[in-house]
A and B are shown apart, each in its own frame.
Chain A
């Protein structure tokens, strides 16, 4: 809860000018949440994938919405621009822009694993149904997903495919929850100017069974 009380010593207008000024380096990137993603979908897609080929990108789009569909609370992965995010991110990883910060299993890129997952999924769908994943029925798609979506329960012949699909899931979740839509859905309420920090609100204190009444500032005062 933000307390908008103004401190006399601050020049609030100048302060906000600094804080809210958009630095020169920030720029609008393709695949922003919401409007542009929806518009791209409606217009038949203005985004040109750089990492995935057209078919792979189509598969990723379908998979993304299986992983994160829309519901009454928030939109789907495609509505949040996840396929564009994935393509751009993996393209940057591929271009060697530096080691991915969060992918510590250094010998494999996530791009490799994502492509492996897509290739396996199409292979299985063709073996079973004579079609690529995107051309299978919803039920057929679900059957494939159910085999590889639960790493701990995958059949022995499916364990690698489950591991690879987990990386696709990682990318979809990472892209969704760092998008504007995803951040608002969590919700993450920070990254703002806060005049006064009040700590933990009452309902959260109650939930955790803690309070500020025990003197958090003075360790020695709690000695018996």
Chain B
């Protein structure tokens, strides 16, 4: 009995991954008439049934902590995490990368922050602008129509502001700011820091049969009413409705099988239930397994025509890996917020205001010790359900104590804090990449990744400036800054991979000797191979990647469908 299951069926496209990029590829390709098979390494996830929206901590085991399958706890559909049993990875000495995997239909789109920011014109040509990093082979104008279409499909709220390198989108009306958000906005006005409505893929108006948001603040739990964006609620259903999509779960992508002509013929995957290999044949292969997983699949796809892995004649697969530059935990205590008249402060599951980068001109004049920007996110007050851990460390503010005084003190102080975070642009560097670790396989027999990852002074200086900025905002708003990061801990810069925005590793380019993909995210070495996740990115702007992943995936998928129609691939 053959160990490898090979079906004679040839799909028009096999899509590896069901998240933002895989979901969008499925949406576009199925609507173009392609018969698609989507492979997902995790289990099926039924949002309407499984969302834990509106449950209370006292209704669930351990108040929602310590879920074996979900490191962020019971409420959060992040099945998997940075340490996934049976799926290890390694770090080179001196590196400390954390690699997040969400093993569920829809991947990270189930539990992400819904922050939907367009990259700006500068972000596509950073090298031309300031001599650092690399230019994309496409410009903002090439992607703008796809940003339009994506926003119109998924629904994003925001306002047109006309700010530098912060393109406005096709927006629904934003929700009004919360009390403390108005307070912080007022402080930002004094400091000349723009503080504008955020841009989140949470719908304030019903579209496409999806009811609008009901402001329970639980977006991160995935939305049982499809009122925020996730792949399983917005992309996969219309794709399935075409009749052209088959989804297979618990399918761990292993490698792309290549024919004698060097073209992709099939995708090999391990069925997690049976541990048997299957191979599914397709005319085109779309990889959207998430940046590092896609790079891993290519590196593991060795053949006589592609001895270093598929698509890797340049040697650039795995290279120039980037995560967002993050700094969290800059909290402020605000006496004015103590004992506020109680009200439901939840709103949507995310900030209603944010601060886009504002120092472009100063940087052109070399007035700052770092070259790129960050945006600021903030949150606090009484938004969000009380969690056990929220009350740890109360002695810091209250000095300790016990009794009625303590109880009343906690009540008084609750909701009087606002915390700030930055999300900034890392400049790609040669020391940050992933490769195959020759000494280890995972439980599916697939060689694992080894990571090399380093920040440079650029990123450290950015975080230092961010911390100083947060202190200024807090003080201007009448608050007391509470954190004390300093040079000894690199100002609390988040570990690589902790922000879970990794991109690069299979970058696009104009020159095939220094890139993996052409300007259409088509592999130089294998014309029927396309990548639609974050791997093609050439830079990692201070704009969370998901919206750009989807816009690019739409563009790539349209191109692929067009090429198939023209019989070019």
Interface segment among B55-63, B88-96, B236-244: the answer is B55-63
| A19→B415 CA distance, assembly (Å) | 26
Are A191 and B216 in touch, CB under 8 angstroms? yes
Given A200-B179, A219-B194, A71 contacting B214 (CB threshold 8 A): no
Chain B, residue nearest A208 (CB): B183
- Structural contact, B216 and A71, CB atoms closer than 8 A: no
Which of these, A28, A68, A169, A208, contacts B395 with CB under 8 Å?
Answer: A169
Q: Does A138 contact B (CB under 8 A)?
A: no
In chain B, positions 138-197 with a C-beta closer than 8 Å to chain A are: 159, 161-163, 174-180, 182-183, 185-186, 189, 194-197
Chain A positions within 8 Å of B386 at CB level = 177-178, 182-183, 186, 188
Interfacial chain B residues near A217, Cβ < 8 Å: 159, 174, 196-197
The residues in A between 163 and 208 inclusive whose CB is less than 8 angstroms from any CB of B are 166, 169-170, 173-180, 182-183, 185-195, 197-201, 203-205, 207-208
Does residue A156 face the partner (Cβ distance < 8 Å to B)? no
User: Is there contact, CB below 8 Å, between B388 and A186?
Assistant: no
CB pair B58 A32 closer than 8 Å: yes
With CB as the reference atom, state the residue of chain A lying closest to B346.
Answer: A190
**Interface: A13 (CB within 8 A):** no
User: Given that A212-B176, A220-B161 are contacting pairs, would A194 and B54 also be in contact in the complex, using a CB cutoff of 8 Å?
Assistant: no
Q: Report chain A residues within 8 Å CB of B53.
A: 19
- Stretch of A38-46, A128-136, A144-152 that contacts chain B: A144-152
Closest to A11 in B: B211
Contact code string B388-406 (vs A, CB < 8 Å = 1, else 0): 1111111100011111101
> 1/0 per residue B202-242: CB within 8 Å of A?
00001000011111111000001100000000000000000
Given contacts A23-B50, A177-B390, contact A191 B177 (CB under 8 A): no
Main secondary structure of the interface of B (DSSP, over half): loop
A92, A93, A151, A194: the one contacting B214 at CB < 8 Å is A194
Q: Are A101 and B73 touching (Cβ within 8 A)?
A: yes
Per the bound structure, the CA–CA distance linking A100 and B72 in Å amounts to 9
Interface size band for B: 35 or more
Which residue of chain B lies nearest to A18 when distances are taken between CB atoms in the complex?
Answer: B224
Check if A161 is an interface residue, CB within 8 A of chain B.
Answer: no
**Interface: A10 (CB within 8 A):** yes
- Residue B384 interfacial (CB < 8 Å): yes
Query: In the complex, A1 Cα to B185 Cα: how many Å?
Result: 23
Asked whether A174 lies within 8 Å of B224 as measured between CB atoms, the reply is no
> Does A97 contact B163, Cβ atoms closer than 8 Å?
no
In the assembled complex, which residues on chain A have CB atoms less than 8 Å from the CB atom of B50?
A: 23, 25
A71 to B408, CA, bound (A): 10
Chain A contacts with B in 1-48, Cβ cutoff 8 A: 1-2, 7, 9-10, 15, 18-20, 23-29, 32-33
B413-452 CB mask vs A (1 if < 8 Å, else 0) is: 0110000000000000000000000000000000000000
Interface flag for A56 (CB, 8 Å): no
Instruction: Given A151-B395, A178-B58, A191-B54, decide whether A145 and B402 contact each other with a Cβ distance below 8 A.
Output: yes
Q: Are A186 and B411 in contact (CB under 8 A)?
A: yes
Q: Is A152 a contact of B400 with CB atoms below 8 Å? A: yes
Contact A170 B404 (CB under 8 A): no
Nearest residue, chain A, Cβ from B393:
A170
Most interface-central of B65, B183, B337 (chain A CB within 10 A): B65
Task: Check if B48 sits within 8 Å of A197, measured CB to CB.
Answer: no
Let me know if B488 is at the binding interface, CB within 8 A. no
Smallest CB separation, B263 vs chain A (Å): 44
Q: A186-B386, A203-B341, A216-B182 are in contact. Are A66 and B402 (CB under 8 A)?
A: yes
Which residues of chain A are near B161, meaning CB under 8 Å? 218-220
Count of A interface residues, CB-CB < 8 Å:
90
B35 within 8 A of A: no
Whether A174 lies near B390 (C-beta < 8 A) is yes
The answer to the question of B407 belonging to the interface, with a C-beta cut-off of 8 Å to chain A, is: yes
Q: Which residues of B contact A197 (CB under 8 A)?
A: 175-176, 213, 215, 347-348
Complex CA gap A136/B344 in Å reads: 44
Q: A2-B344, A9-B206, A23-B49 are in contact. Are A183 and B54 (CB under 8 A)?
A: no
Interface residues of A in 64-118 (CB under 8 A from B): 66-69, 71, 74, 81, 85, 88-89, 92-93, 95, 97-103
Q: Give chain B residues whose Cβ lies under 8 Å from the Cβ of A95.
A: 66
Q: Quote the shortest CB–CB distance from A6 to chain B (angstroms).
A: 12
Instruction: Indicate whether A210 reaches chain B with its CB closer than 8 angstroms.
Output: yes
Q: Output the least CB separation between A59 and chain B (Å).
A: 14
Interface pair A169/B54, CB less than 8 Å apart: no
Q: Contacts A97-B67, A180-B56 known; A185 to B411 CB distance under 8 Å? A: yes
- CB pair B196–A89 under 8 Å, yes or no, is no
Cβ contacts under 8 Å, B273 to chain A: none
Known contacts A149-B401, A170-B393, A208-B183; is A188 also within 8 Å of B382 by CB?
A: yes
B56-A183 in contact (CB<8A)? yes
In whole Å, how far is B487's beta carbon from the nearest beta carbon of chain A? 20
A162 contacts the other chain (CB 8 A): yes
With A177-B386, A205-B182, A216-B197 as known contacts, state yes or no: A89 contacts B62, CB within 8 Å: yes
The answer to whether B177 touches A199 (Cβ under 8 A) is: yes
Minimum CB–CB distance from B465 to chain A (whole Å) comes to: 21
B residues 332-351 near A (Cβ < 8 Å) are: 336-337, 340-348
A151-B400, A217-B197 are known contacts. Are A207 and B63 too (CB-CB below 8 A)?
Answer: no
Kindly report which residue of chain B lies nearest to residue A189, judged by CB atoms: B344
For B404, list chain A residues within 8 Å (CB). 69, 71
Chain A hits for B61, CB < 8 A: 27, 29, 88, 92
Among candidates B176, B183, B414, residue contacting A199 with C-beta atoms closer than 8 Å? B176
> Does B110 interact with chain A (Cβ within 8 Å)?
no
Chain B residues contacting A166 (CB-CB under 8 Å) are 393, 395, 400
B410 on interface, CB distance cutoff 8 Å: yes
| A174 x B391 contact (CB < 8 A) | yes
Given A66-B402, A151-B400, A186-B414, verify A85-B63 contact (CB < 8 Å): yes
Q: Counting CB contacts under 8 A, is A137 at the interface?
A: no
Query: Can you pick out 20 interface pairs between chain A and chain B where the beta carbons lie within 8 Å of each other?
Result: A19-B54, A25-B74, A68-B407, A103-B392, A149-B402, A166-B400, A173-B394, A174-B391, A174-B392, A175-B388, A183-B56, A190-B385, A194-B215, A194-B344, A204-B340, A207-B340, A209-B336, A216-B176, A216-B353, A219-B196
Closest 3 pairs between A and B when the two form their complex, measured CB to CB: A102-B389, A199-B176, A97-B66
Where the two chains meet, the residues of A that have a C-beta atom closer than 8 Å to any C-beta of B are 1-2, 7, 9-10, 15, 18-20, 23-29, 32-33, 66-69, 71, 74, 81, 85, 88-89, 92-93, 95, 97-103, 145, 149-153, 162, 166, 169-170, 173-180, 182-183, 185-195, 197-201, 203-205, 207-212, 214, 216-220, 222
Q: Please give 11 more A-B residue pairs, beta carbons under 8 A apart, in addition to A192-B216, A197-B213, A210-B185.
A: A15-B225, A93-B66, A153-B399, A185-B407, A187-B342, A197-B215, A197-B347, A199-B175, A201-B341, A204-B343, A217-B197
